[in-house]
Amino acid sequence: MSQSLFSQRLGEAMKEKDLKQVDLVKAAQDKGIKLGKSHMSQYTAGKTMPRDNILSFLAEALGVSKSWLAGEQTGRQNVNRNGGAAMRTFKKSSKLDNVLYDVRGPVVEEAARMEAQGMNILKLNIGNPAPFGFRTPDEVVYDMSRQLTDCEGYSDSKGLFAARKAIMQYAQNKDIPNVTIDDIYTGNGVSELIQMCMSALLDSGEEVLVPSPDYPLWTACVTLAGGTAVHYICDEESEWYPDIEDIKKKITPNTKAIVLINPNNPTGALYPREVLQQIVDIAREHQLMIFSDEIYDRLVFDGEEHISIASMAPDLFCVTFSGLSKSHMIAGYRIGWMVLSGNKRLGKDYIEGLNMLSNMRLCSNVPAQSIVQTALGGYQSVKSYVVPGGRIYEQREYVYKALNDIPGVSVVKPKAAFYIFPKLDAKRFNILDDEKFVLDFLKEKKILMIHGGGFNWKQPDHFRVVYLPQMPVLQKSMEELKDFLSYYRQEP
């Protein structure tokens, strides 16, 4: 028997079964077997070997063969409780080990369990406009139904000509330079294109600067592609703008690109020209690619203007993302796009990679492409939502004031999108784990929000509220939150 092989296999089997030391101690107790906590930790540390009866117990509890666990045989053989060969189980790839997407994560799963038990949960967790009564413009639905029979086949892998022409004109209106029809790719939402861009770009060890907090798909896709997401801070004290000094500090010879989310999810920040200029200067100095996620570019309040960073960087290689999920309330149709611009010669080889991946997925959803031209042209119903009297504007005004009125909560007023990212006085509420905070709130008040950690925010002191729900729902949620925070102190 090999002590170190035993402890290694013990750890492996425990991980696979998702069992902790205490679970095994308890299971032994239930069977009347004497197995103390200190024994277990000695076994896992490789300090001692168990007696034969304990080894048999551990092997049975972990569903592995005793001789394998003891380090005696090389081939792994799982066994079931009756001693026969067990069913093979399938594990997820270790590539997913560091991937996080809590917008639909464990707290949301708990909410689903509560709903299954018949409870009514108020959901302030996801930026999906349709369930909150935001309707797709009639013309868009009509035009899609008219074209449906023409959309039965695959399109060109980058998308229909008419859709891409409309996106090209949109890019021209935003002063994005050097864009031809070939530089435009449609996707099944921006989500698909983010994944495609990172997969085509990154080799292991290469770094991408990603904001913190971020929309977590960016970090997830960098990680999944084998790269390293290096988070730069967005500074709450400065309207959540990117901290330029922090960006400079985090650049290394391995840094390949910088990601901007502007307007920002989860903070609702909108970056002014001066901030964008500083980022362009850094990208120029360090020869970085710029990826700018601008899916909320039409959801801007207070008469502010959204500026595409690509319009300020004609000499750099930029990729700008947008789509119809948010501005046209058709998140479910799945249509987004990306536009390559600026000095594309720098990315000649990369573009070959993008084309390869684009061809491999054949094309994006063709019926959804068919309404891009309709959606981007003519009357823009979204404009009526973001001015005084409009639903999103008024809901922002309400939620901003209501949150600031809660003792121990402070928040920066969002200038765009439909998210707000309040700060909790972590000391006052003794918050050490922000996920536990939202879980406690969910269980007690049946209201679902996402903790700051879900957006790669490192301190346990923020949470995100989606203020799309109708005013009565928002009012109830804010009243309940105020009540909850009047007595909540997190238990360690």
Residues that bind ligand PLP (CB under 6 A): 127, 189-191, 215, 261, 265, 293, 295, 323, 325, 331, 336
Identity of residue 110: E
CB 121 within 8 A of CB 442: yes
Query: Smallest distance from the beta carbon of 327 to ligand PLP, in angstroms?
Result: 10
Query: Smallest distance from the beta carbon of 265 to ligand PLP, in angstroms?
Result: 4
Query: Smallest distance from the beta carbon of 102 to ligand PLP, in angstroms?
Result: 13
Query: Smallest distance from the beta carbon of 237 to ligand PLP, in angstroms?
Result: 22
Distance of CA 426 to the CA centre of its chain: 24
Find the radius of gyration of the CA atoms of the chain: 26
Instruction: Rank residues 43 and 418 by Cβ distance to ligand PLP and give the closer one.
Output: 418
Distance between CA 334 and CA 377 in Å, rounded? 19
Instruction: Rank residues 212 and 265 by Cβ distance to ligand PLP and give the closer one.
Output: 265
Maximal CA-CA distance, the chain: 78
Instruction: Rank residues 242 and 323 by Cβ distance to ligand PLP and give the closer one.
Output: 323
Query: Smallest distance from the beta carbon of 242 to ligand PLP, in angstroms?
Result: 15
Instruction: Rank residues 275 and 485 by Cβ distance to ligand PLP and give the closer one.
Output: 275
CB 361 within 8 A of CB 195: no
Instruction: Rank residues 136 and 325 by Cβ distance to ligand PLP and give the closer one.
Output: 325
Instruction: Rank residues 329 and 399 by Cβ distance to ligand PLP and give the closer one.
Output: 329
Query: Smallest distance from the beta carbon of 127 to ligand PLP, in angstroms?
Result: 4
Under DSSP, the state recorded for 224 is H
Instruction: Rank residues 336 and 454 by Cβ distance to ligand PLP and give the closer one.
Output: 336
**Segments of 79-206 assigned E as strands:** 122-123, 184-187
Coil, strand or helix: which one is 362? coil
Instruction: Rank residues 323 and 460 by Cβ distance to ligand PLP and give the closer one.
Output: 323
Prior bond to 263 cis, omega within 30?
Answer: yes
Instruction: Rank residues 127 and 469 by Cβ distance to ligand PLP and give the closer one.
Output: 127
Query: Smallest distance from the beta carbon of 323 to ligand PLP, in angstroms?
Result: 4
Strand-by-strand arrangement of the 207-212 sheet: 184-187, 336-342, 317-323, 289-293, 255-261, 207-212, 228-235, 241-242
CB 302 within 8 A of CB 415: yes
Instruction: Rank residues 13 and 448 by Cβ distance to ligand PLP and give the closer one.
Output: 448
Query: Smallest distance from the beta carbon of 68 to ligand PLP, in angstroms?
Result: 45
Query: Smallest distance from the beta carbon of 189 to ligand PLP, in angstroms?
Result: 2
Query: Smallest distance from the beta carbon of 319 to ligand PLP, in angstroms?
Result: 13
Distance between CA 142 and CA 235 in Å, rounded? 44
Give residue number: closest CB to ligand PLP. 189
Identity of residue 104: R
Given the DSSP bridges, would you call strands 207-212 and 419-420 parallel, antiparallel or unpaired?
Answer: unpaired
Residues in the chain: 492
Q: List Cβ<8 Å contacts ≥24 apart for 47-56.
A: 47/3, 48/3, 49/1, 49/3, 49/6, 54/28
Given the DSSP bridges, would you call strands 122-123 and 447-448 parallel, antiparallel or unpaired?
Answer: parallel
Distance between CA 423 and CA 291 in Å, rounded? 28
Q: Quote the crossing angle between the two packed helices 21-30 and 37-44, to the nearest 10°.
A: 130
Query: Smallest distance from the beta carbon of 377 to ligand PLP, in angstroms?
Result: 19
Cα–Cα distance list, 31 to 22, 24, 58, 188 (Å)? 14, 11, 12, 53
Instruction: Rank residues 55 and 417 by Cβ distance to ligand PLP and give the closer one.
Output: 417
Distance between CA 400 and CA 334 in Å, rounded? 30
